[in-house]
Amino acid sequence: MSSAHRFDRGHTDDLLTFLAASPSPYHAVANAADRLEKAGFRQVAETDAWDATTGGKYVTRGGAIIAWYVPEGATPASPFRIVGAHTDSPNLRVKPLPDTGAAGWRQVAVELYGGTLLNTWLDRDLGLSGRITLRDGSHRLVNVDRPLLRVPQLAIHLDRGVNSDGLKLDKQRHMTPVWGLGEPREGDLIRFVAEETGVAAEDVAGWDLMVHSVEAPAFLGRDRELLAGPRLDNLLSVHAGTAALIAATGSEGLPYIPVLAAFDHEENGSQSDTGAEGPLLGNVLERSVFARGGTYEDKARAFAGTICLSSDTGHAVHPNYAERHEPGHHPVPNGGPILKVNVNQRYATDGSGRAVFAAACERAGVPWQYFVSNNSMPCGTTIGPITAARHGIATVDIGVACLSMHSARELCGADDPHLLASALTAFLEG
């Protein structure tokens, strides 16, 4: 049967909406929170005292969100089942002094964020998104979702060897986008952003801004069996995890406390107050235990029984570079989620984790596949090993196989988002 007739069109259409509406980690958090609110979750402030009430709750901090559901009958020692993901993607981010230019062009100074595939940002219509911070400490989301900037590539007439010798980009000199003509004027970009956001420029005290491709995510291929879009790494998992958490709350007699933990800054090492290596997840889980009258002993028991599925994209076999992949393990699009294994602990999966993941997929009726790196190629990593080491929580690395990872526009199978969400739901339901 063609995969065009198998995947859940409603889920995948909803993912397209989520991707388009989430050009920055801050937007992804706001959109996930909105979905949780509609499902009956309520936001709790980290600065408030927490209570022992049951139901869905969540906290947000910058580009991170932690949400959990306390079922009826939960005890202080009830273990958690966690879906981990991250909200950030490699891109170009605006520098503190953004107004620059040369040769009659007005440009925006940017810094490279994460392991960016530089060439994918060339000759692409770019918008501007993120957040601004006002003098009173409040934040406003920014989303200029129209062609505003462009990183123009040098014409082939001025780089005759580009196709034979390869494209060579200097990160400092060649990645500065243009956004107009004339001499740069100090404060120009922030004045523009303030006007777009409906605030006074003099009230803007700080900003966390980045560029994004304004091309909409879309189905691809003759049978529309593929999905092309920005930020699949890793908003695909954030979306699936949010859907799975909401679905799990409808189950009776949950033996675990289901949790979604979506962190920021995974793409540059997770070392921040909103990253997986920070204390945010541990603080939330501990406070949940203590709010239900638990002790340190209860917390230790709860953590000992907790399992985390760290969900992030992985590599499908590239048809033009098949030799770069492990020859005995060839994950393909629409083959179901992947179990990521690396004995050097770049992924946290072990045999026990494999059993947990396989059982969830079996309950959901979802196929799954292995991902292992070629021994001659370095292996990437995820929040999985960090979560396991930071909190002493059993962790399993999984995800969806895709092509063009870290590109401004990535590619995966159109079945896989729903298959992943189904497996995550079965895992959270226990």
pLDDT, tens digit (0-9, with 9 covering 90-100), for 332-379: 999 999 999 999 999 999 999 999 999 999 999 999 999 999 999 889
Quote the pLDDT of residue 430. 86
Quote the pLDDT of residue 7. 59
94 vs 85: CA distance, rounded Å: 24
364 vs 418: CA distance, rounded Å: 11
Average pLDDT over residues 227-248: 98
Percentage of residues in the chain having pLDDT higher than 90: 95
pLDDT surpassing 70 at residue 33: yes
In contact, 230 and 409? CB cutoff 8 Å:
yes
Average pLDDT over residues 150-164: 94
Quote the pLDDT of residue 2. 38
Structure tokens at 220: 């691809």
Q: Give Cα separations from 99 to 47, 95, 178, 300, 377 (angstroms).
A: 37, 9, 10, 52, 40
pLDDT surpassing 50 at residue 127: yes
Quote the pLDDT of residue 267. 97
Average pLDDT over residues 291-298: 97
pLDDT surpassing 80 at residue 94: yes
Quote the pLDDT of residue 1. 32
Quote the pLDDT of residue 346. 94
> Is the N-terminal amide bond of 163 cis, ω within 30° of 0?
no
pLDDT level of residue 69 (50, 70, 90 thresholds): very high
Largest CA distance in the chain: 72
**76-85, 142-151, 251-260: least confidently modelled range:** 251-260
- Name the strand (E) or helix (H) holding 424: helix 416-429
pLDDT level of residue 251 (50, 70, 90 thresholds): confident
242 vs 294: CA distance, rounded Å: 27
In contact, 295 and 76? CB cutoff 8 Å:
yes
- Name the strand (E) or helix (H) holding 339: strand 338-340
Average pLDDT over residues 42-67: 97
**Comparing C-alpha atoms, which of 428, 429, 392 is closest to residue 304?**
392
Q: Give Cα separations from 42 to 276, 293, 417 (angstroms).
A: 23, 21, 26
pLDDT surpassing 50 at residue 317: yes
* Model confidence, pTM: 0.96
Three-state DSSP class for residue 109: strand
Percentage of residues in the chain having pLDDT higher than 70: 98
Output the average pLDDT for the chain: 95
| Residue partners of 389: CB distance under 8 A and separation at least 6 | none
pLDDT surpassing 60 at residue 275: yes
Average pLDDT over residues 396-401: 98
Give, as one character, the DSSP assignment of residue 232.
H
In contact, 278 and 57? CB cutoff 8 Å:
no
pLDDT level of residue 4 (50, 70, 90 thresholds): very low
Secondary structure percentages of the chain, helix, strand, coil, to 5: 30, 30, 40
pLDDT digits (tens, 9 = 90+) for 173-205: 999 999 999 999 999 999 999 999 999 999 999
Quote the pLDDT of residue 258. 98
Quote the pLDDT of residue 252. 85
